Structure 1
């Protein structure tokens, strides 16, 4: 929300972070002050679990309760209730680490957070300006130090060195690709990219744009991953020459979009679906080449996790061409991350470019113990070991994902154009419809169908049936009284017709509010578009 309304929220998050740390017997909890791809005037906060995951879902309710307390008495009562329900030992230590992105409001909000931590006698360490993935990385490193699963050195320099060293191992001895242009969204990613490049040296040729971290109002303004994904156009201040290879980070560098222009300078976007299929296919091939198995000779399970927003062509390609098992979850990285952890190697990406790859302890052990019977197997094993270090497994990480993509393309000597040609996305469209209450819309089957309101799903199905390769779903927003309508079909024109027909049905018959948008199609009682 608007940053000037967040002081009290930050204070209560400080209180909650202390309780969460105490509930883990003093394990370090991370707090990241950022609003990711939102405009500069906004800000927000994320809590990070000891191993770098997002906050346990049960504790989200506690965060909401504390944030909405209106008096000191209510706040004290809410704290007492959490302590009792979770059986928290208040004599246990509490350790917090905090970082922020480049928003001007960040420093003052961190001060409010520190007040909350200190109010419950917690210890807090301020890591200053960092990307969101760096804070997740540091949190996991601290909590795994001096254990068999130590994740790395808990510093920014340690983060860059780990990624750079792994990248160099994978691309060693192979011809490099053309220079990569990186749109940094005028955010903290500009700082992190510069530091990372110092460790990479000549192993990756990079130029950058939108690196003004001090300019007023420029953060995410007409640039960054979210802008290029939604607008389907190149970021402001970024000149794309023919066949230019480029990518866009978002404001806190946890999302990435890959961009390529053809000989005519026409813009093409390779989103999270394309990144996921590239990663899943490459890792699956390397596991086969390495002949790596569990100790009992059972095969490693590789899987891809998607949401309903994944393009239908990507799902078909993964299932039928790559033959990688694919599962669906409701929208939200927390759902994807949880499901990916069920595989030995779980790949997950949202279409918006937020995602990563998870390697189970068993998979990492298999890589470490494998020896290889010939040079080809040995090289594949080395690549898998390096990939498990190169990929930030705690959370989606734009810089780590950027290096992963580059490493795979170097290994396979693919251009962006060759990568993109693996499959062709179906045309898709997404629209919002304002409604009286989003609570009236109840999704099931990983957000792909509605069980409420009665009759709507049948009407959606009737429209979808009219179009070859048609697909459409309606899901409520998690934050405002709107529903999101997503549709695919064989052509752009059919996709728009399907989208706006369903939008019209929702608006006219299921609680639309405000002025009716003229682009929404009217549908008669028989289901025909008027």
Structure 2
């Protein structure tokens, strides 16, 4: 009797479909800059599938390790999420984002979606996929990590668990593994410690700092560098209160008020700082009555760009390019300040870290920060090579001491800044190191420029797709009536405004900016534009 030989790939797909089954929580999930996020108890099937997806991505890249981070960053504690990291530490390749979205949302035969990008049978047979998995401090994260691992192993992949880490630490570990460098978390701290001492030239940072850890993993992770800043006190640690609730970088930056401190201790400090739930954002501020004097991402970029520009000029290297990426949300005063810095280009990018990162990678030194405090400084391989070669050539030359000093300083900045992703802990050391080196206090930092007044609003609409924007969201193409309304409302000198449809929900975000001291004007502009959005774009609920 003749027997039909089964196609191994078809068998593997059938087995995978049986494992993945149907999604019990069919709400649509979209893979964006933050990966997938939702209520933790609705993510079980999606996270299992992400483990499979990560293993397939690693297989396609010939077994190079891919990262998976289980976190919902600054979201409430009942939420969770998962995002994938490329072997070089960057975010998931944009070509795979639509596949990830389609695969996670497939109600039937999800393996067929994966087969568009990879042979399922080959992945299971080759068994070369490697996935590095980390998690934040949410109570749901351990369960979701187990599901990621189950998905990886179901298709023949190998899981490397690194446990409770910040998101930047996961990116660091994946990138270091790719570069065949020590990839344990202790090495992460050692690199930063050495770079910080070189940046500060072993001078002591004198200001006192209270760091709000958002009741998240960053408050524990900061212990690895605490000795570098002698007068550092950490509040809002895991277990002190609900994750991100009325505290953390996102809360302080949006509300412009100090965080709730969940312990009875009273603290006074020269500077306050806040991480977010997974420590990839940082803002710094000084309490000012009921509000705060805020140093957000724009001010981080301004200080770092000023410092880099100064030392690049002193280094004598004229061939390295420096670029700073900004978005439509960047304060106009910050843009004008940066434009005046010698040797610094300004490039405007769409909102979102992946767009900012892409925009600056064409420069030898790329600086980007979103106003929310997520950002870093990227040094190209060419920049590091030129700086190191010059450092070696000038070694021991006393007559070139100032030049050597600047070259060493720039190399230290490149080592201290996370070269994969925004890192709140690394950024804290970078900013403190620059302030120390420049003998600059917090108020002097704020005096670099006077921030223009701004106001933000959100409008719910029936369908956000009716709005088409241009020029990196800084202008509206459609509807024409909305475009004309914005131009009229923001026509006064020193004013500007824009609207941006949300990437994940049917809401439209409104931003209005007015000259210094014109806060009422900024708020009035934002309100009138919100009303125009409501009227011309199918507003839902009560009119603003």
When normalised by structure 2's length, the TM-score is: 0.88
Q: What does residue 8 of structure 2 align with?
A: none
Do the aligned partners of residues 123 and 202 (structure 1) sit closer, same or farther apart at CA in structure 2, a change above 3 Å counting?
A: closer
Q: For 1:456-503, what per-residue CA distance to the aligned partner results, in whole angstroms no more than 9, with x for missing partners?
A: 2122111111x2211100010011101000000120011011111111
User: Which residue does the alignment assign to 2:143?
Assistant: 108
CA distance in 2, matches of 1:352, 1:240: 26
Q: Could you tell me how far 1:388 is from its partner in structure 2?
A: 1.1
SS at 1:501 equivalent = helix
Structure 1 residue 132 corresponds to structure 2 residue 167: yes
In structure 1, what is the Cα distance between the partners aligned to 2:267 and 2:146?
44
Q: CA deviation at 1:342?
A: 0.6
- The alpha carbon displacement at 1:89 in A equals 9.8
Contact 1:22 1:89 in 2 (8 A): no
2:368 pairs with 1:348: yes
Query: Is the Cα–Cα contact under 8 Å of residues 168 and 203 in structure 1 kept in the other structure?
Result: no
Secondary structure of the corresponding residue to residue 340 of structure 2: helix
8 Å CA contact 1:25, 1:92 repeated in 2: no
CA gap of 1:35–1:427, structure 2 versus 1, over 3 A, is same
Match of 1:225 among 249, 268, 278: 249
Going from structure 1 to structure 2, the CA distance change for 1:33 and 1:175 (only over 3 Å counts) comes to closer
Matched, 1:44 2:71: no
Alpha-carbon distance in 2 for matches of 1:415, 1:471: 31
Task: Confirm or deny that 1:66 pairs with 2:103.
Answer: yes
> Hey, what's the Cα distance between the residues in 1 that align with 2:148 and 2:228?
41
| Structure 1 position 194, deviation (Å) | 1.2
C-alpha distance in 2 between matches for 1:253 and 1:219:
12
Match of 1:524 in 2: none
What is the aligned partner in structure 1 of residue 260 from structure 2?
A: 236
**Match for 1:388 among 411, 414, 421?**
414
Are residues 227 and 265 of structure 1, via their aligned partners in 2, closer, same or farther at CA, if it must alter by over 3 Å? Answer: closer
CA contact (8 A) 1:306 1:328 kept: yes
Q: Which residue of 2 aligns with 1:275?
A: 300
User: In 1, distance between residues paired with 2:267 and 2:323?
Assistant: 37
Q: Residue 309 of structure 1 corresponds to which residue in structure 2?
A: 329
SS in 2 for 1:208: strand
Q: Which secondary structure does the structure 2 equivalent of 1:193 belong to?
A: helix
Q: Is 1:300 aligned to residue 314 of structure 2?
A: no
In the alignment, the residues of structure 2 paired with residue 280 and residue 430 of structure 1 have an alpha-carbon distance, to the nearest angstrom, of 27
Which of residues 463, 466, 472 is equivalent to 1:437? Answer: 463
Contact 2:47 2:82 in 1 (8 A): yes
Give deviations 1:140-183, integer Å, cap 9, x for gaps: 011111xxxxxx42111111111111101211243532122111
Cα distance in 2 between the residues matched to 1:516 and 1:234 = 31
2:499 pairs, out of 460, 465, 474, with 474
Displacement of 1:323: 5.6
Task: Tell me what 2:383 maps to.
Answer: 363
Contact 1:241–1:265 under 8 Å retained in 2 = no
Partners of 1:45 and 1:390 in 2: CA distance: 26
Counterpart check, 1:505 vs 2:537: no
Report the RMSD for the aligned CA atoms in angstroms.
1.9
From the superposition, tell whether residues 64 and 93 of structure 1 become closer, same or farther in structure 2 (CA, over 3 Å). Answer: same
Matched residue SS, 1:316: helix
1:9 has 2:80 as partner: no
State the alpha-carbon separation in 2 of the partners of residues 267 and 330 from structure 1: 28
- Cα separation, 2, equivalents of 1:417 and 1:104: 39
Deviation (angstroms), 1:322: 5.1
Are 2:58 and 1:21 aligned? yes
Partner residue of 2:68?
31
- Structure 1's 49 and 463: CA in aligned 2 closer, same or farther, altered over 3 A? same
- For the 8 Å contact 1:18–1:94, the answer to whether it is kept is yes
The alignment status of 1:408 with 2:434, answered yes or no, reads yes
Asked whether the equivalents of residues 193 and 228 of structure 2 are also in contact (C-alpha less than 8 Å), the reply is: no
CA displacement 1:414-463 (0-9 Å, x = unmatched): 00100000101101011001111011112211111122223321221111
Give the equivalent residue in structure 1 for 2:425: 399
SS at the partner of 1:396?
A: coil
2:214–2:274 CA contact under 8 A, matched in 1: yes
Aligned residue among 505, 510, 523 for 1:485 = 510
* Correspondence for 1:337: 357
| Counterpart Cα distance in 2 of 1:179 and 1:496 | 35
Contact 2:210 2:267 in 1 (8 A): no
User: Any idea what the Cα deviations from partners look like across 1:112-160, whole Å, max 9, x if unmatched?
Assistant: 1111101110001111100000000000011111xxxxxx421111111
Kindly state the Cα deviation for residue 291 of structure 1 after the two structures are TM-superposed: 1.1
Cα distance change of structure 1 residues 88 and 440 upon mapping to structure 2, 3 Å threshold: farther
What secondary structure sits across from 2:543 in the alignment? coil
Mapped to 1, the partners of 2:66 and 2:311 lie a distance apart of 35
Tell me if structure 1 keeps the 8 A contact 2:127–2:157.
no
Choose from 506, 515, 521 the match for 1:494: 521
Deviations 1:402-421 (A, max 9, x none): 10001100110000100000
Partner Cα separation in structure 2 for residue 176 and residue 304 of structure 1: 27
Contact 2:321 2:343 in 1 (8 A): no
Q: How does 1:139-154 map to 2 (within 5 A)?
A: 139-145=174-180, 152-154=181-183
1:23, 1:89 within 8 Å by CA — same for their partners in 2?
A: no
For the residues of structure 1 that align with 2:184 and 2:96, how far apart are their CA atoms? 28
Q: Please identify, of 176-185 and 348-357, the stretch whose mean Cα deviation from structure 2 is larger.
A: 176-185
